[in-house]
């Protein structure tokens, strides 16, 4: 049993009174077929909530670097206990605004339509897309909401598709399957969710408290059952790492886009994630890395996160996730030795070949969206620093404590208090490694110095070799059997 260090004293207890009853909100999502088509190309939304003054319904026009979201929203109407309400539409400062002409009262129902783009066309990869297998995407692109910091009890359900007879499909979202789902939280939770309707290829895995469902939209050649089974094993390993026994279901939505060629990317939520792949994507290392990474965000990046301005903690939420997604899968035997070696070499190569590798953390926060080279840095820097920090903790404690222990302690603390202070990791580094550890943290994470994990950072099977013109990659240590590679 490992000894927990002085940073455990930073953990806080759980306390607090039960919250008052939250007001009710309903969201009904309905697929719509247009012009006699047999497949939906529109999702219609009906949001009902308690009326209060003149709420402004909003949607950013630019979402995750892609513009044009507002142009896909149409047919907006509103009504309350006093009858219909006219809406004034405008785009101001890059945000779509729909303003009611008078004060509202009673229950306000706001309805609109969001148009989808064909999966064979050009558009936001995680936006609303459709093909013969279904329609759906990430809510940031099409969920129009009023500003509100209140907590609500929200009910999400699917309406009957307005399509020709014989059109079949089922709805599902981050919140659950086709049956109505209920959550408690802020309205923004509706925008941070995935919504899909159709007839995808599906897999399910049920093992005790683990319940995982995958839904694959598009004509992929991937062996969907094999991919779903692999994802379930990695998800189980990630759950075990964090001691998570939550029996709630978890969903993976995969959309094939013709323009995505052989790539695989994704975006995670706490109870689901959305991945987009191309027609040439195979179930190989790159897709496996993406699956493991996005599922891990359930714990690292969502339940466990650092406060601060957007982008200032990507080295942690993304970089540490890069590190642990491959490490956990490797320890669980779901990456081969060769796959793991290729993965850590990919991290090192992408970092040292990047002309922006020395970007400060402040520059990352400023330029993450507008400079693709800068956007890579927190992923690679954070991952390599995680390996460096892990080794430093092992050496300083004589093998009694590791980065695993630090991360689990942070997770426990975050589950009790929410997002942690932006310097939470730095404070633990000081408690364990002293002023020299803090100086190294500041130089790498804040100042842009290159991480420097030692030769044995990934265990006894791998060692460093120089990379020209700078940096390093990894290679196998001759004579060490594969059976000794997974534990360190």
Q: pLDDT for 61-71, tens place per residue?
A: 999 889 999 99
pLDDT recorded at residue 52 = 83
Q: For residue 441, is pLDDT > 80?
A: yes
Q: For residue 160, is pLDDT > 90?
A: yes
Q: For residue 20, is pLDDT > 60?
A: no
Domains: count for the chain: 2
HEC profile of 134-178: EEEEEHHHCCCEECCCCCEEEEEEECCCECCCCCCCEEEECCECC
Q: pLDDT for 97-132, tens place per residue?
A: 999 999 999 999 999 999 999 999 999 999 999 999
Question: What is the domain extent for residue 409?
Answer: 336-484
Last residue of a domain, one of 135, 166, 185: 185
* 7 is a domain residue: no
pLDDT recorded at residue 12 = 32
Last residue of a domain, one of 130, 156, 185: 185
What is the residue whose two structure tokens read 């939770």? 189
Q: How far apart are CA 272 and CA 339, in angstroms?
A: 25
* 280 is a domain residue: no
Q: How far apart are CA 266 and CA 254, in angstroms?
A: 9
DSSP labels for 278-331? Answer: -TT--SSHHHHHHHHHHHHTTTBTTTB-B-SSTTTTHIIIIIIHHHHHHHHHHH
pLDDT recorded at residue 273 = 94
* 247 is a domain residue: no
Q: How far apart are CA 125 and CA 137, in angstroms?
A: 9
- Using only the alpha carbons of the chain, give its radius of gyration: 24
* 215 is a domain residue: no
Highest mean pLDDT out of 164-173, 437-446, 477-486: 437-446
Q: pLDDT for 414-424, tens place per residue?
A: 998 889 999 99
* 237 is a domain residue: no
Could you tell me the CATH number of the domain that includes residue 166? 2.60.40.3650
Look up residue 174 and give its two tokens: 């981050």
Q: For residue 488, is pLDDT > 80?
A: no
Last residue of a domain, one of 133, 156, 185: 185
* 148 is a domain residue: yes
C-alpha closest to that of 157 among 137, 187, 178: 178
C-alpha closest to that of 253 among 206, 171, 194, 210: 194
* 204 is a domain residue: no
Q: pLDDT for 78-97, tens place per residue?
A: 999 999 999 999 999 999 99
Phi, psi of 333 (to 5 degrees): 80, 15
Is the full-model pTM beyond 0.85?
Answer: yes
pLDDT recorded at residue 36 = 85
* 53 is a domain residue: yes
């Amino acid at each position: 049993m490992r000894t927990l260090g002085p940073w455990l004293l930073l953990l806080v207890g759980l306390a607090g009174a039960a919250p008052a009853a939250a007001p009710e909100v309903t969201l009904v999502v309905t697929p719509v077929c247009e012009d006699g088509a047999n497949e939906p190309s529109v999702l219609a939304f009906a949001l009902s909530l308690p009326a209060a003054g003149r709420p402004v319904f909003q949607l950013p026009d630019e979402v995750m670097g892609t513009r044009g979201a507002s142009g896909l929203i149409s047919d907006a109407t509103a009504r309350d206990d006093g009858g219909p309400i006219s809406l004034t539409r405008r785009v101001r400062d890059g945000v779509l605004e729909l303003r009611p002409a008078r004060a509202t009262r009673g229950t306000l129902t706001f309805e609109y339509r969001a148009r989808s783009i064909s999966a064979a066309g050009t558009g936001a990869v995680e936006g609303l897309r459709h093909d013969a297998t279904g329609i759906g995407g990430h809510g940031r692109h099409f969920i129009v909401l009023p500003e509100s910091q209140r907590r609500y009890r929200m009910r999400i359900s699917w309406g009957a598709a307005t399509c020709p007879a014989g059109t079949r499909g089922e709805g599902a979202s981050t919140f659950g399957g086709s049956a109505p789902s209920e959550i408690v939280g802020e309205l923004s939770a509706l925008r941070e969710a995935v919504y899909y309707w159709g007839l995808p290829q599906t897999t399910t895995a049920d093992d005790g408290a683990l319940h995982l469902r995958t839904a694959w939209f598009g004509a992929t050649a991937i062996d969907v059952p094999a991919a779903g089974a692999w994802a379930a094993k990695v998800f189980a390993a990630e759950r075990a790492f964090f001691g998570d026994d939550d029996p709630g279901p978890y969903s993976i939505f995969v959309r094939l886009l013709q323009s995505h060629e052989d790539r695989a990317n994704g975006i995670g939520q706490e109870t689901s994630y959305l991945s987009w792949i191309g027609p040439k994507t195979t179930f190989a290392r790159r897709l496996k890395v993406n699956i493991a990474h996005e599922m891990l965000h359930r714990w690292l990046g969502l339940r466990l996160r650092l406060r601060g301005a957007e982008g200032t903690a990507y080295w942690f939420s993304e970089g540490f996730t890069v590190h642990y997604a491959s490490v956990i899968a490797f320890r669980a035997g779901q990456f081969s030795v060769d796959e793991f070696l290729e993965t850590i070499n990919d991290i090192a190569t992408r970092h040292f070949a990047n002309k922006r590798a020395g970007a400060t953390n402040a520059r990352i926060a400023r330029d993450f969206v507008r400079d693709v080279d800068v956007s890579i840095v927190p992923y690679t820097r954070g991952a390599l620093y995680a390996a460096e920090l892990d080794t430093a903790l092992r050496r300083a404690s004589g093998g009694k404590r590791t980065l695993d222990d630090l991360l689990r302690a942070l997770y426990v603390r975050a589950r009790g208090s929410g997002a942690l202070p932006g310097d939470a990791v730095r404070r633990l580094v000081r408690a364990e490694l002293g002023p020299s550890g803090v100086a190294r943290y500041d130089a790498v994470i804040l100042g842009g110095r290159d991480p420097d994990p030692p030769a044995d950072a990934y265990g006894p099977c791998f060692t460093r070799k120089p990379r020209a013109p700078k940096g390093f990659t990894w290679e196998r240590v001759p004579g060490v059997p594969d059976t000794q590679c997974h534990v360190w």
